[in-house]
Amino acid sequence: NSAALTLLGGSVAAVVVWKWLGRKMIQKKMEEARKTRDEGLKKMAKAVQQFREQVPSAQTDAILSLPLLGLAERLREGSLSPKTVLYTYLEKVSALEVNQQTNCLRHFIPECEEQLQEIQRQKEKGLLYGIPVSIKDHIGHKGHLSTCGLVQCLDTLMKEDSVLVKVLKRQGAIPFVMTNVPQSLFSYDCSNPIFGQTVNPFNHQRSPGGSSGGEGALIAGGGSILGIGSDMGGSIRLPSSFCGLCGLKPTAERLRWVLGIWHIHLLNVGICSCPIPVPCALGPMARDVDSLALCMRALLCEEMFRLDPTVPPIPFNSKVYCSSTTLRIGYYDTDGYFPLPPCMRRAVKETRSALQAAGHQLVPFSPPRIPYVMTELFFKTFYADGGRAWLDVFTGDIVDPSLKSQVNSCKIPRLVKKMLALLLKPLVTIPPPLKHVGMISTCRSVKEMWNHHHEIQVYRSEFITQWKELHLDVVLCPVLGPAFTTGYAGKLLTAISSTMLYNVLNFPAGIVPVSTVTEADEEELKLYQGCCDDPWDRKLKQAVSGAVGMPVAVQCVALPWQEELCLRFMKEVETLSREK
């Protein structure tokens, strides 16, 4: 007996030591990654200092205040040099007011200086000639990591530029920084154990949104004029809402990029089957709608279609974007699933009134069966295997606190999940919706997975039929906001119904800031009970309280492949809100 106890004790000790050594190895990798980032930022600051010594009279404030269209025009005509513009933005990023306050950067791209030389050798000036562009962490850039905030992704450098980066460079843009993301990208906060928490530039106790949160914080803080994000549940639109930016999620197939480490891993573990039922879309983020339109016009070019034949060769239709015909606009201020705070519903009502006064037709519209879409279509796509594939990406990693509740939900034994799903399924589609059952829906067989794909197609057809019956051009609707206090997003995953819907549908959708939170909004928030005053409604109330002065936005939607019409509608909303 004593020998057995000694052996058992030795085995336990060995396991403890092995785990301790593994954790030390993880910590060492993370420290090395942070050190590499910090050294890159120091190089950036040194390069800026050297430039300032050579050109002390550069008009920093004048350059930073130019909108993208104005800046592009000055660069193309030669009254501003690409070098001056690049170093002006590098200085803004490296200065105290942006990165050191928000922690928005994942890495500086030193090759931006090589690209600076390259564009001067190009025979023709591209549409983005000399424009510094920031890109989200997981968009592949040659010689750099694509981390997704995961330790397991710290060993492999990208061997080539993604298609998107190649096209940006061909159009004369200069990718100069990569921005921070939440761990695994599957969060609408922006925190990971390697590079830490990114915060909102307008209030450092609040989140910038996610997963393109680094982009949101950097652009809103004035450190970038144009950024590229990605969106699979709201990851462009939520940071745009939280940070007061314009952002566009196109139809997913309108733009493509070479698979990064994250997507290759998902293919390996089977979570991304083909076709992907809820595809990830890539799109621009900026300070105004014209910037988004210029970016889309630049990207939808022959070079994109040549490099990636799977992208339909549909150039940007400027005629549709510049049109001034009256629109027939559907609208709603709640989807009936997760009622949003008073300020977000106010934004829709005020925008609706402004559009009506401008001569457009406004028609009430009610999106069908949102509880069913959330539980049976959206979450079932990502947790079809009970979340096992997603849990695999955390192997040999430390789970970020913002994701612990999601990770713990996935760790519930499969049999328990099946029992809960069977017991609660009849209650999912009847009010009040059960917001906590989203992560227990699973597909129990390949046949059920194919049925799931079919159900998504059926729902898309139903939604389009309802849209067509009302003869709508576009739809105006709310978006989640204002910016949450940090730490709440992970506890309110199902609050993203307003954005998630248009990922399931694969419709183009964009965000336009139209207002800010007022004292009156705060007073009305005190009476907010959500759908049924359940724990999730109360948590949402806590997440958004105290947000006076924070941006308030609306969401603009069009049918698939109609990005130009979506942007045209966004431009109309932007113009009316600025006039107001």
pLDDT digits (tens, 9 = 90+) for 160-207: 999 999 999 999 999 999 999 999 999 999 999 999 999 999 999 999
Q: Which residues pair with 174 in a beta bridge?
A: 132
Whether the model clears a pTM of 0.85, i.e. scores above it, the answer is: yes
Q: Is residue 450 part of a domain?
A: no
Task: Please report the pLDDT score of residue 272 as a whole number.
Answer: 42
Task: Please report the pLDDT score of residue 270 as a whole number.
Answer: 39
User: Active site residue: 83, 136, 169, 435, which one?
Assistant: 136
Active-site residue flag, 211 = yes
Task: Please report the pLDDT score of residue 384 as a whole number.
Answer: 80
Q: Is residue 413 part of a domain?
A: no
Task: Please report the pLDDT score of residue 103 as a whole number.
Answer: 97
User: Active site residue: 134, 146, 162, 211, which one?
Assistant: 211
Q: Which residues pair with 227 in a beta bridge?
A: 134, 285
User: Active site residue: 187, 212, 235, 240, which one?
Assistant: 235
Q: String of b and e for 388-406 (b: at least 16 CB within 10 Å)?
A: bbbbbbbeebebbebbeeb
Q: Is residue 318 part of a domain?
A: yes
Q: Which of 522, 578, 511 is nearest to 244 (CA)?
A: 511
Task: Please report the pLDDT score of residue 424 as a whole number.
Answer: 64
Q: Is residue 6 part of a domain?
A: no
Active-site residue flag, 136 = yes
For each successive 10 residues of the chain (580 residues), what is the average pLDDT? Answer: 71 73 89 95 92 87 96 97 96 80 95 95 95 97 95 92 97 98 96 97 98 98 97 97 98 74 44 64 98 98 96 97 98 93 98 98 97 89 82 89 88 74 58 51 79 94 98 98 96 94 98 98 94 86 97 98 98 95
Task: Please report the pLDDT score of residue 175 as a whole number.
Answer: 98
Q: Is residue 338 part of a domain?
A: yes
Q: Residue 275 sits in which domain range?
A: 23-368+468-579
Please state the domain count of the chain: 1
Q: Is residue 505 part of a domain?
A: yes
Task: Please report the pLDDT score of residue 265 as a whole number.
Answer: 45
Q: Is residue 574 part of a domain?
A: yes
Q: What angle is formed at CA 269 by the lines to CA 263 and CA 270, rounded to 5 degrees?
A: 85
Active-site residue flag, 28 = no
As a whole number of angstroms, the longest Cα–Cα distance in the chain is: 89
- CB < 8 Å & 24+ apart, contacts of 299-308: 299/164, 299/167, 299/168, 299/171, 299/255, 300/254, 300/255, 301/167, 301/170, 301/171, 303/166, 303/167, 303/170, 303/171, 304/163, 304/167, 304/255, 307/163, 307/166, 307/167, 308/163, 308/256
What is the domain-level CATH number for residue 297? 3.90.1300.10
Q: Is residue 199 part of a domain?
A: yes
Q: How many helices (H) and strands (E) does the chain have?
A: 24, 13
